[in-house]
Every structure is written in structure tokens, then in C-alpha cells.
Amino acid sequence: MRMKKEVNHGALLRELAGSLSSTVTSFEQMSGRPAQSFPDYKKARAVYHEIQAMIFTIGDKAESRPNDAPRELKSWLIRMRLRSIAAFTRVSLAFFRNPPQLLVHALGAYEILQHEREAFTKVLADYDMMLFEAGIDDKTADELDRVRVNMEEVVERLENLLKTAPPQLTVF
């Protein structure tokens, strides 16, 4: 007969938070190097999505056992989300300021660009609420305001690229 091992949820949350923190820091460092190709950009997007999944996993685990989670965990998770959004925005802005011509003019480019525009538009809609919930200081607020302006520029650039991208294939 096997004994069921008792899980220390507080320790698990600390371990997950440490992993998230190091992943966000690595992503921020990576965001300083512009993506040279669409596969590079997709890798950065995948890391961004991985970070978001980690944030939601930690949040869910904390909600299921609120007594095991630190009181400031929710605001810390929002700050981690804001940091990852800022890093991904830097990558995206650098990439879409000078996108590879193959991406812009290839068949299927329209769908890719449209998906990216929709994703950025959704995050932009949630951004102000996250700022409010994070309870950040004025210096950080100024930095995050610049991120918001950059996000708006990414959306605008994607909209402009959509105007010149080959139309979607409707019949094959």
C-alpha cells in the first residue's frame, strides 16, 4: 500500500514563483535583441505565452489554497505580467518596425498579421486595469505608460501592414 505524500502548497507556490521570476528576467534580457526572422519572433511569442500560462497557474493554485499564499501574491503576479508584456512589446515593436518582406508579402501573411493585431488589441484593452490593480509607483507608471504607447504603435503598424498584405485565400 502506497502512502499519499502530503504536498506543501506554500513551498510549491514559492518554487513556481521563483521559476516565473527567473523566466521573466531571462525574457527581459532576450527582449533587448531584436528578432531577425519570423521563427525568432514566434519563439519570443511562445516564451511570452509560457510566462502568461505560468502566471495563471500560480494564480489558480493560490486561489485554491488561499491560506498558503502570501497576501501580496496577486499584485506580484500582475507586476510579472506587466513586465512580460513590456518585454514582448519591445520584441514586437522592433520586429514590426522593420518586418521581413517575406512575412509581409507571403501568402498567409494576412492571417498572421491579423492574429497578432487581435492579440495586441486584447492585451491593450486589459492593460489599464492591470496597472490599476498592480498599485505601482509613479516612476514605474511612467515606464508602463511608455509601454502602452509602444503597444499602440505595434497595433498601428500591424494595421498598416494588413493594408498591404496579400488578401486571405478564400478558394484554393
Kindly list the domain boundaries of the chain, sorted by start residue: 9-164
What is the share, in percent, of the chain residues with pLDDT greater than 90? 44
pLDDT tens-digit readout, 77-86: 988 999 999 9
Q: What is the pTM of this model?
A: 0.85
pLDDT tens-digit readout, 132-144: 776 666 667 778 8
Q: 3-class DSSP state for residue 17?
A: helix
Judge whether 81 and 23 are in contact, CB under 8 Å: no
The reported pLDDT for the residue numbered 85 is 94
Buried-exposed string 117-146: b where 16+ CB fall within 10 A, e elsewhere: bebbeebbeebeebbeebebeeeeeeebee
The reported pLDDT for the residue numbered 137 is 63
